[in-house]
Amino acid sequence: MIVTKHDLLSRGVGKFTVGNDLAYRALRASVGMSRSLSLGLIASGLLACWVLSRASGGADAFAPHWYYLPILFAATRFGPLAAFIVACVAGLLAGPLTPADTAVGRSQELIQWLSRAGFFVLIGQVSAWLLAPTVRYPLAEEVRRMRIEHRIRSALKQGEFSIVYQPIHSIRLGRHIGVEALIRWHDPAHGVVPPGEFIGIAEETGLIHEISDFVLEEACRQAAQWQRLAESRACEPWHVAVNLSARDMERPDLARVVAEALKRHDLCPKLLTLELTESALAEKSSSLQLYQLRKLGVKLAIDDFGTGYSSLSYLNRFQVDILKIDRSLVAHLDTDESSQRLARAIVGLAETMQLKTVAEGIETAEQLEIGRQLHFDLVQGYHFERPQSGEKIPDLMLASSSPAGMVADEHGHMPG
C-alpha cells in the first residue's frame, strides 16, 4: 500500500503539521535521490560535522547529535548495512579524530567515544529496521510512481505514445469486421512500457484524460480513413473500439470531446464503439454520460463482462449494445466445463436482451470452435492477429471483405 499525505489526512492518522509535512517531504526526497547524490550528501554531512566539531573547540563544546543526520539519512536511503558503516565512520570522526578540547589538545576518554559510537550504531540499526518497512519501501514505491508520472507527461509532449489495432472477427461472416484501439508506449530509455505499468498511475493523476483524448483522436482519424477506403472498394466500413477509463466518466465534457472528434474527422458515429468497465459504470455521473453518448449515435460496450459482482444490475440500469466476455473466462473454455457453462449463460443473456457478444483472448483453434458452438457473435485474439499498426489494417480487412450489399442485413445488428 502506498501511503500518501492524502491517505493520512483522510484516515485521520495524526494531523499533518508543517513540521510533519516537511519531514515527510524530506524522507520522500531522500528515497528518490540517485545513489551517487545520496552518498555525496552522507559524506558531506559527516565531513561538515567533523569540521564544525573541531572549529567549535572539540567534542566537549560541540554536541555530537548532528552526526545522527547522515546516519538516519543512510538508514532511510540504503538500509541497515549502510547505516552501520556510516555509524562506525561517525564514531571514529566524533571519537579519536576529534580532541575533547582542541585548544589544549586533550584527547577524549576511551569509554566516552566508544559509548558514543555504540549509540550511533544502535540508533542507525533501529532506524533502519523500523524505517525500511514503514517508510523507505512505501516512499520508494511512491517515488517510482512519481517518476513514471513525470515520464508520462514527457511522453505525451514528445509523442512517444502510439496506437495499434487488434482485429475483431465475425464468426458468422468468417471475416474481420472491426478493430480495437490499444495504446503503446515506446520509451526511448526503457523500451516498450506495458500499459499495466502506467495506466493506473495515469488514472490517479488525471493524465488518463490526455491519454484517452489521444487514443480517441487517433482512432477516429484512422477509422475515417478506413471508412473512405472501404466505401471506395464497395466494402462495409470497419468499426473501431476505444476503451474509456472510469476517470473519463467523471468528465462533464466527455460527450462534447467525443462529438468533436467525430465531427473533426467526419466519422460516422455508429462506427465508433466505446468500451466501459464496470468501475466506469459505477461512477455517479455515468447515467448522464451514457445518455449523452448514446444521443451521439456511438455504440457502447461493457468490457470484461462477468468479472464483477454487479454486471446484471448495470445491464438493467444502462442501455448498452455489446458485452465483451473477459479473457480470463475465455482462456479456460477448452479445459474447464464450468467456464463453458458460464459463457453459455452470458450468451443466452445477451440474446435475450438483444445484445452482441465479443469474446476476448481467443488464442487456439479449440477455443474458437467452442466459441462457435457457444454462438459468440464476435471474437478477437492472437489466434487471428496480434495488434497491428494502422497501416497494416486495411490489407487484413480487405483480404476477406465482401461487397456492402451482401452484408446489409448483418450491418443492422453489428456493433458498428
Query: In angstroms, rounded to a whole number, what is the distance separating the alpha carbons of residues 381 and 387?
Result: 9
Q: What is the CATH number of the domain that holds 366?
A: 3.20.20.450
CB contact at 8 A, 343 and 330: yes
State pLDDT tens for residues 152-209: 999 999 999 999 999 999 999 889 999 999 999 999 988 999 998 899 999 988 999 9
The pLDDT of residue 58 is 78
Q: Are residues 57 and 186 in the same domain?
A: no
Q: Are residues 128 and 184 in the same domain?
A: no
Count of other CB atoms within 10 angstroms of residue 287? 13
Beta strands 322-325 and 356-359, pairing class: parallel
Q: Are residues 179 and 277 in the same domain?
A: yes
pLDDT confidence of residue 180: 96
Name the grid cell of 216. Answer: 480517441
- Residue 164's SS3 state is strand
What cell was used for 133? 518497512
Q: Are residues 345 and 397 in the same domain?
A: yes
Task: Evaluate whether residue 172 is within a structural domain.
Answer: yes
Q: How many structural domains does the chain have? A: 2
pLDDT in tens, 200-247: 999 988 999 999 999 999 999 999 999 999 888 888 899 999 999 988
Same domain, 93 and 127: yes
Residues 245 and 215 in one domain: yes
Classify residue 73: in a domain, yes or no: yes
pLDDT at 412 over 50: no
* Global pTM value: 0.68
- Examine the domain organization and report whether 134 and 170 are in the same domain: no
Question: In one letter, which amino acid is 186?
Answer: H
Over residues 92-115, mean pLDDT: 82
180: left (phi over 0), alpha (psi -120 to 50) or beta: beta
Give a yes or no: residue 416 inside a domain: no
Tell the residue number behind the cell numbers 508506449, with chain if given. 185
How far apart CA 161 and CA 113 sit, in angstroms, is: 59
Q: pLDDT tens for residues 254-291? A: 999 999 999 999 999 999 999 998 777 776 667 888 88
Contact status, residue 242 vs residue 216, Cβ threshold 8 Å: yes
- Give the residue from 104, 121, 150 where a domain finishes: 150
CB atoms inside a 10 Å sphere around CB 283: 16
Would you say residue 331 has pLDDT above 60? yes
d(CA 123, CA 70): 12
> Distance between alpha carbon 131 and the CA centroid of its chain, in Å?
27
CB 383 within 8 A of CB 362: yes
Whether residue 144 is found in the same domain as residue 291: no
Q: Quick one: 160 exposed, middle or buried, by C-beta within 10 A (0-12, 13-18, 19+)?
A: middle
pLDDT confidence bin for 100, thresholds 50/70/90: confident
Q: Quick one: pLDDT band at residue 15, thresholds 50, 70, 90?
A: very low
Percent of the chain with pLDDT strictly greater than 90: 43
218-242 b/e (C-beta count within 10 Å ≥ 16 → b)? bbbebbbebbebbeeeebbbbbbbb
Q: Answer yes or no: do 207 and 342 share one domain.
A: yes
Residue finishing a domain among 150, 172, 200? 150
Distance CA 361, CA 378 (A): 11
164 and 144, same domain (yes or no): no
Evaluate whether residue 69 is within a structural domain.
yes
Compare 308 and 324 and report the one with higher pLDDT: 324
Q: Exposure string (b/e) for 68-83, b if CB count within 10 Å is 16 or more? A: bbbbbbbbbbbebebb
Quick check: is 175 in a domain? yes
- For the stretch 354-407, pLDDT in tens is 999 999 999 999 999 999 999 999 999 999 989 999 999 998 888 766 444 333
Instruction: Look at residues 59, 86, 62 and name the one whose alpha carbon lies nearest to residue 72.
Output: 86
For residues 96, 100, 106, 112, the Cα torsion angle rounded to the nearest 10 degrees is -60
Residue 295 CA to residue 313 CA, distance in Å, equals 22
* CA 177 to chain CA mean position, Å: 30
Looking at residue 94, its amino acid is A
Region of poorest pLDDT, from 290-294, 301-305, 411-415:
411-415
Asked if residue 322 is part of any domain, the answer here is yes
The answer to whether the CB of 143 falls within 8 A of the CB of 31 is yes
Helix or strand (DSSP H, E) at 358: strand 356-359
| Helix (H) or strand (E) run with residue 328 in it | helix 327-330
Task: Answer yes or no: are the C-beta atoms of 165 and 179 closer than 8 Å.
Answer: yes
120-131 residue pLDDT tens? 999 889 888 876
More confident site: 346 or 397: 346
Res. 416: pLDDT tops 80: no
What's residue 98's pLDDT? 83
Establish if 155 belongs to a structural domain: no
Task: Say how many CA atoms lie within 13 Å of 319 toward its Cβ.
Answer: 11
- 93: containing domain: 5-150
Q: Which three cell numbers stand for residue 218?
A: 487517433
Same domain (yes/no): 141, 167: no
Residue 350 falls within a domain, yes or no? Answer: yes
Together in a domain, 122 and 262: no
Of 116, 150, 184, which residue sits at a domain end? 150
β-pairing, 388-389 with 161-170?
Answer: antiparallel
